[in-house]
């Protein structure tokens, strides 16, 4: 049987014959109650009790000391990198295999992305190739880690937890420590994922979440900054709310701030979603088990399982085509999408895209192979 037909069979056995999107939001809880309450209160915009509540509940859930709700995950990253000390002209190590927002946040600060390779188990940054690249191409000085070729300081590292699977944090944090790099975690896809019992996004100096419509929970659009540093948290709140000094009527802004706050309406939606998060994740883990039962009969692909020691939220279910059939990806995508199941490839590697070609990069090998072989499957929490 042809590969694409076999995969369609597996999807039909698992999901039945209904049309399935890639990841659709579910509004089965208090969404309408909270939104109505929010509208009735007239506090629909930048202040209100739902913003405070949502931030508090996010901190409780993730175990971060503080969570600051903002307009989206990209703005959360921009502010986190700024607060982590990334300045104009600094380089920041970032996997090429990620969503474009990760890289844009670096560029918005006038800093420079420096692309690194990813590895096959978690799809996150590869510690082994990173260490050999740093050994070869950088020098540690009193100014920090210097890129010998460009002469610029390499200031930070942004690990990304891809599709909700925690990346190899221990190794990456230890490299960052050795090379004097500040770590800001992109946990946009990782709400509900734990690395050896600790929530992702709480390992670096700061970390971020996204609540875009296709993420595990949604606020329509939105994001959050996580940190265990109270002073940084206060600065994050201040900077993302136009840097206005609190006063009953005076407008004093003590630095050039940003209007990156999350409106109360969005936070109301988020609070209702957060109440259902554990259920969403249970369903998504169950969906993995169903897929697993079916895919283990088909030896040409590997269904991606949570890494050892980790509990993943299984945001996007993923298969990896074996190297023997990587050239079948487009045929498979075309065929399955034409049969009512939305399946997607990985992002195009960012270093290949026109606006990003000119930036420095380590040898990128595994990511190129992954890009040819990753297929995301229907993953919504209500599919089974």
Which residue ranges make up the site for ligand PLP (CB under 6 A)? 72-74, 98-99, 101-102, 160, 186, 188-189, 210, 212, 223
Kindly write down the DSSP assignment for every residue of 321-383, as one continuous string.
E-GGGGGGHHHHHHHHHTTTB--EEPPPPGGGSGGGTTS-B----HHHHHHHHEEE----TT-
State which residue, 7 or 111, has the beta carbon closest to ligand PLP.
111
**Closest CB 212 distance from ligand PLP, rounded Å:** 4
For the chain, the farthest-separated pair of C-alpha atoms sits apart, in whole angstroms, at 72
State which residue, 153 or 351, has the beta carbon closest to ligand PLP.
351
**Closest CB 362 distance from ligand PLP, rounded Å:** 19
**Closest CB 284 distance from ligand PLP, rounded Å:** 16
Q: Please, which residues bridge with residue 168 across strands?
A: none
3-class secondary structure, 259: strand
How far, CA to CA in Å, does 357 sit from each of 100, 126, 360, 365?
A: 13, 21, 8, 16
**Closest CB 190 distance from ligand PLP, rounded Å:** 9
State which residue, 102 or 235, has the beta carbon closest to ligand PLP.
102
Helices (H) and strands (E) in the chain, counts: 12, 16
State which residue, 98 or 380, has the beta carbon closest to ligand PLP.
98
Q: Please, which residues bridge with residue 118 across strands?
A: 125
| Residue 174 near residue 313 (C-beta atoms within 8 A) | no
Percent helix, strand, coil in the chain, to 5, is 40, 20, 40
**Closest CB 360 distance from ligand PLP, rounded Å:** 21
| Residue 266 near residue 73 (C-beta atoms within 8 A) | no
DSSP 245: P
State which residue, 202 or 210, has the beta carbon closest to ligand PLP.
210
**Closest CB 74 distance from ligand PLP, rounded Å:** 3
**Closest CB 280 distance from ligand PLP, rounded Å:** 17
| Residue 11 near residue 377 (C-beta atoms within 8 A) | yes
| Residue 193 near residue 226 (C-beta atoms within 8 A) | no
Dist CA 326 CA 369 (whole Å): 8
> Closest CB to ligand PLP belongs to which residue?
73
State which residue, 73 or 192, has the beta carbon closest to ligand PLP.
73
**Closest CB 14 distance from ligand PLP, rounded Å:** 24
**Closest CB 213 distance from ligand PLP, rounded Å:** 9
State which residue, 200 or 303, has the beta carbon closest to ligand PLP.
200
State which residue, 100 or 384, has the beta carbon closest to ligand PLP.
100
State which residue, 201 or 223, has the beta carbon closest to ligand PLP.
223
How far, CA to CA in Å, does 275 sit from each of 174, 306, 307, 381?
A: 35, 23, 26, 14
Provide φ and ψ at 320, rounded to 5°: -115, 120
């Amino acid at each position: 049987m042809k590969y694409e037909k076999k995969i369609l069979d597996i999807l039909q056995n698992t999901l039945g014959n209904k049309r399935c999107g890639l990841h659709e939001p579910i509004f089965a809880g208090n969404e309408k109650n909270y939104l109505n309450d929010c509208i009735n209160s007239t506090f629909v915009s930048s202040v209100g009790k739902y913003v405070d509540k949502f931030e508090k509940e996010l901190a409780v859930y993730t175990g971060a000391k503080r969570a600051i709700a903002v307009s989206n995950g990209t703005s959360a990253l921009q502010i986190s990198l700024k607060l982590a000390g990334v300045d104009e002209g600094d380089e920041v190590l970032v996997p090429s295999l990620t969503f474009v927002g990760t890289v844009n946040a670096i560029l918005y600060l006038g800093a420079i992305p420096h692309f690194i390779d990813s590895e096959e188990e978690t799809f996150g940054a590869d510690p082994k190739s990173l260490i050999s690249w740093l050994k070869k191409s950088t020098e540690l000085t009193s100014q920090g880690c210097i890129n010998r070729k460009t002469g610029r300081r390499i200031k930070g590292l942004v690990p990304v937890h891809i599709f909700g699977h925690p990346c190899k944090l221990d190794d990456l944090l230890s490299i960052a420590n050795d090379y004097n790099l500040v770590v800001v975690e992109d946990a946009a896809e990782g709400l509900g994922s734990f690395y050896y019992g600790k929530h992702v996004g709480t390992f670096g100096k700061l970390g971020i979440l996204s609540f875009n419509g296709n993420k595990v929970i949604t606020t329509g659009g939105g994001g959050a900054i996580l940190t265990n540093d109270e002073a940084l948290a206060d600065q994050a709140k201040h900077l993302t709310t136009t840097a206005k000094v609190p006063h009953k009527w005076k407008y004093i802004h003590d630095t050039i701030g940003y209007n990156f706050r999350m409106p109360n309406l969005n936070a109301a939606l988020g609070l209702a979603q957060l109440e259902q998060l554990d259920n969403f994740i249970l369903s998504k883990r169950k969906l993995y088990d169903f897929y697993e039962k079916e895919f283990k009969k088909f030896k040409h692909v590997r269904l991606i399982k949570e890494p050892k020691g980790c509990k993943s939220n299984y945001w996007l279910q993923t298969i990896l085509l074996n190297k023997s059939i990587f050239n079948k990806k487009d045929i498979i995508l075309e065929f399955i999408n034409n049969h009512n199941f939305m399946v997607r490839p990985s992002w195009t590697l960012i270093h290949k895209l026109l606006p990003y070609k000119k930036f420095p990069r380590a040898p990128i090998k595994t990511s190129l192979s992954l890009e040819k072989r990753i297929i995301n499957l229907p993953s919504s929490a209500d599919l089974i």
